[in-house]
């Protein structure tokens, strides 16, 4: 099996080096013979588009739109997605960000499959055991391909349906675009409007598909954070004017009731005065929201009501890992660059995290650098235990994309219940490409 098209650098770990008793990636594919409940075909192809400035630019697209089509399925569905690469020369894959799929469906070029080259196809099959807001993107040369447009949203509706009458997805990315169902806020002044009857229950799915943390501002309404990274929060409280800092790769679901006046959802890299694009919800096609006010950034560590979790202070961990995130200047592929390191190592030299199936694993993240590192572990959700040693209070906070800011120390835990070879990397994809990547490996 030739694992072509490596993501960041040549990977020292492939299915071929696993011990003979170990399961191969092929054995860790999803259900292969049942008829799917939902099937989609996604074609990766180039698109030349004209920017508002009149310049032409080349986007790389799924189904000729950026973002790609919104895939909306139901909890428990067997989903089949046929990926067809039309003309992306370096090959593409699809990674289902935040979905804990069987390892062989995880879409990591060079690790769980070969990159799909022009003219080729690959069929993904998985059962959606989770609900909530996810996204998908190419995991072949991710730092280039996601920036070029190879991403889209994946919404899994719970069996009982969605409580709200209006359900909308708002993404943050470096291009501001819309495919009809997903509005992507970028850096240039696009304003889109949705007409919504006052009194309507609204769910807004915020997704950060950008490399840097993004701060979303909701002005003109009270709202609750109903879910983080696809997992519902317990007892979410109403709040107002709390900026929402979303990790790269992360998602917040907001729930609100449409008031009589307009509401805006905007985003910024910094303060509320630097917001650019906005989605305006209003009852008419002309009313404008009152300007927002700056508030204290929403903190998921102190929000909602406690609920039982599988780990507590008595938990005996089978494995405990510390990941020190830092950077240093050094040579990479022959050029002097700012290397992003984990425990001083640069991928692929970083020793893998080794676990056995069933292990209860503690992870500690320490950011000694001066940049945010949104850490993303594939195939698993982590429960955040503490920040700076202070236990998380309020609702259990499960995450797959944890923003570790400079100086921060987080502890989190997960159960190793999804065998395979998984990436654990910074979702600032440029940092991942500059070394901040490693593997989690089941022995
Ligand atoms: Cu969203 Cu390894 O990626
Ligand atoms: Cu980083």
pLDDT at 273: 65
Report the C-alpha gap between 293 and 243 in whole angstroms: 9
Last residue of a domain, one of 126, 157, 188: 157
CA of 137, closest atom in ligand 1 = 1
CA of 61 to the centre of ligand 2 (A): 25
Please check the confidence at residue 7 and state whether its pLDDT lies above 60.
no
Residue nearest to atom 3 of ligand 1 (CA): 97
Is pLDDT at 14 greater than 80 in this prediction?
Answer: no
* Average pLDDT of the segment spanning 353-367: 97
Considering only 190-199, 292-301, 357-366, which range has the smallest mean pLDDT?
Answer: 190-199
Note whether 51 and 179 are same-domain residues.
no
3-state secondary structure 257-295: ECCCCCEEEEEECCCHHHCCCEEEEECCCCCCCCCCCCC
In a domain, 195, yes or no: yes
Last residue of a domain, one of 132, 157, 182: 157
Distance 341 CA to ligand 2 centre (A): 9
Ligand nearest to the CA of 341: 2
Residues 274 and 175 grouped into a single domain: yes
Q: What is the CATH number of the domain that holds 127?
A: 2.60.40.420
Instruction: Dump pLDDT digits (tens) for 96-112.
Output: 999 999 999 999 999 99
> How many angstroms separate the alpha carbon of residue 443 from the centre of ligand 1?
22
Same domain, 213 and 144: no
Complex ipTM value: 0.96
| Alpha-carbon span 50 to 32, nearest angstrom | 41
Q: Pick the atom of ligand 1 nearest to 432's CA.
A: 2
Mean pLDDT, to the nearest integer, of 396-414? Answer: 98
Considering the domain boundaries, does residue 9 fall inside one? no
| Percent share of the chain, pLDDT over 90 | 74
- The last residue of one of the domains, among 237, 265, 298, is 298
Bridge partner residues of 61 (DSSP): 45
Nearest Cα residue to atom 1 of ligand 1: 97
Q: How confident is the model at residue 182, as a pLDDT? A: 72
Check whether 6 has a pLDDT greater than 80. Answer: no
Residue 342's pLDDT is: 98
Identify the nearest ligand to the CA of 327 by its number: 2
Residue pLDDT, tens place only, 246-257: 999 999 999 999
Atom of ligand 1 nearest to the CA of 108: 2
The region of weakest confidence among 8-22, 155-169, 189-203, 398-412 is 8-22
The CA-CA-CA angle for residues 352, 107, 110, to 5°, reads 55
Q: Which of 66, 439, 401 is nearest to 247 (CA)?
A: 401
> Do residues 279 and 343 both lie within one domain?
no
**Structural domain tally of the chain?**
3
pLDDT score recorded for residue 5: 33
pLDDT at position 176 over 80: no
Mean pLDDT to the nearest integer, 56-74: 94
Centre of ligand 1 to C-alpha 395, Å, is 25
pLDDT value of position 49:
86
Residues 81 and 25 in one domain: yes
Ligand 1 pocket by C-beta < 6 Å: which residues?
95, 97, 137, 139, 249, 376, 378, 423, 425, 427
The answer to whether residue 21 scores a pLDDT higher than 90 is: no
3 domain residue, yes or no: no
Do 75 and 20 reside in the same domain of the chain?
yes
Kindly state whether residues 70 and 108 are assigned to the same domain.
yes
- Give a yes or no: residue 332 inside a domain: yes
What distance in angstroms lies between residue 431's CA and the mean position of ligand 2's atoms?
A: 5
Instruction: Report if residue 4 sits inside a domain.
Output: no
The answer on 236 and 207 residing in a single domain is: yes
1 lies in some domain: no
Does 38 map to a domain?
A: yes
**Which-ligand-closest: CA of 342?**
2
* Average pLDDT of the residues of the chain: 90
Residues 208 and 112 in one domain: no
Atom of ligand 1 nearest to the CA of 135: 1
Q: Whole domain around residue 358: which residue ranges?
A: 319-442
Based on the domain organization, do 89 and 216 belong to the same domain?
no
Residues 129 and 173 in one domain: no
Entry pTM: 0.92
Q: According to the model, what pLDDT value does residue 270 have?
A: 67
What b/e readout covers 347-362, taking b as 16+ CB neighbours within 10 angstroms? bbebebbebeeebbbb
pLDDT at 184: 75
Same domain, 232 and 132: no
Give me the mean pLDDT over the 344-367 stretch.
97
Is 312 within a domain?
A: no
**Rounded to the nearest whole angstrom, what is the distance from the C-alpha of residue 376 to the centroid of ligand 1?**
7
Q: What is the pLDDT of residue 63?
A: 97
User: What is the band of 284 on the pLDDT scale with cuts at 50, 70, 90?
Assistant: confident
pLDDT of 13 reads: 38
Angstrom distance (rounded) from CA 368 to CA 426: 14
């Amino acid at each position: 099996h030739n694992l072509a098209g490596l993501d960041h650098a040549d990977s020292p770990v492939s299915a071929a080096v696993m011990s003979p008793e170990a399961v191969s990636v092929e054995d860790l594919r999803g259900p292969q013979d049942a008829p799917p409940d939902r099937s989609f075909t996604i074609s990766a192809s180039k698109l030349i588009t004209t920017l508002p400035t009149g310049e032409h630019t080349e986007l790389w697209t799924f189904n000729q739109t950026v973002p790609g089509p919104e895939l909306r399925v139901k909890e428990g569905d067997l989903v089949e997605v046929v990926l067809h690469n039309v003309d992306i020369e370096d090959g593409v894959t699809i990674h289902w960000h935040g979905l804990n799929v069987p390892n062989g469906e995880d879409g990591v070029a060079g690790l769980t499959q070969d990159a799909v080259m022009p003219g080729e196809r690959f069929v993904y099959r998985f059962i959606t055991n989770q609900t909530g807001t996810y996204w998908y993107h190419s995991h072949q040369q991710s730092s280039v391909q996601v920036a070029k447009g190879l991403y889209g949203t994946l919404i899994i509706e719970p069996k009982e349906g969605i409580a709200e009458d209006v359900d909308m997805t708002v993404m943050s990315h470096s291009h501001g675009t819309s495919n009809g169902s997903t509005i992507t806020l970028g850096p240039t002044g696009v304003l889109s409007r949705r007409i919504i009857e006052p009194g309507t229950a609204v769910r807004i799915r915020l997704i950060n598909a950008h490399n840097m943390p993004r701060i979303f501002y909701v002005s003109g309404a009270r709202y609750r954070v109903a879910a983080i990274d696809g997992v519902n929060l317990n007892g979410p409280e109403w709040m107002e004017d709390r900026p929402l800092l979303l990790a790269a790769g992360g998602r917040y679901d907001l729930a609100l009731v449409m008031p009589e006046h307009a509401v805006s959802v905007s985003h910024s890299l910094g303060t509320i005065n630097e917001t650019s694009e906005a989605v305006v919800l209003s009852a008419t096609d002309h009313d404008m929201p009152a300007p927002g006010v700056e508030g204290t950034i929403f903190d998921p560590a102190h929000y909602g009501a406690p609920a039982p979790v599988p780990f507590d202070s008595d938990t005996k961990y089978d494995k405990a890992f510390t990941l020190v995130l830092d950077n240093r200047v050094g040579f990479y592929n022959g050029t002097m660059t700012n290397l992003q390191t984990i425990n001083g190592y640069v991928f692929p030299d970083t020793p893998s995290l080794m676990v056995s199936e069933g292990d209860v694993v503690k992870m500690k993240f320490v950011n000694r650098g001066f940049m945010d590192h949104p850490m993303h572990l594939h195939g698993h959700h982590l429960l955040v235990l503490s920040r700076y040693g202070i236990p998380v209070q309020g609702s259990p906070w499960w995450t797959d994309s944890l923003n570790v800011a400079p100086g921060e120390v987080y502890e989190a835990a997960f159960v190793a219940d999804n065998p395979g070879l998984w990436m654990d990397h910074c979702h600032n994809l440029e940092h991942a490409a500059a070394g901040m990547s490693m593997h989690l490996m089941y022995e």
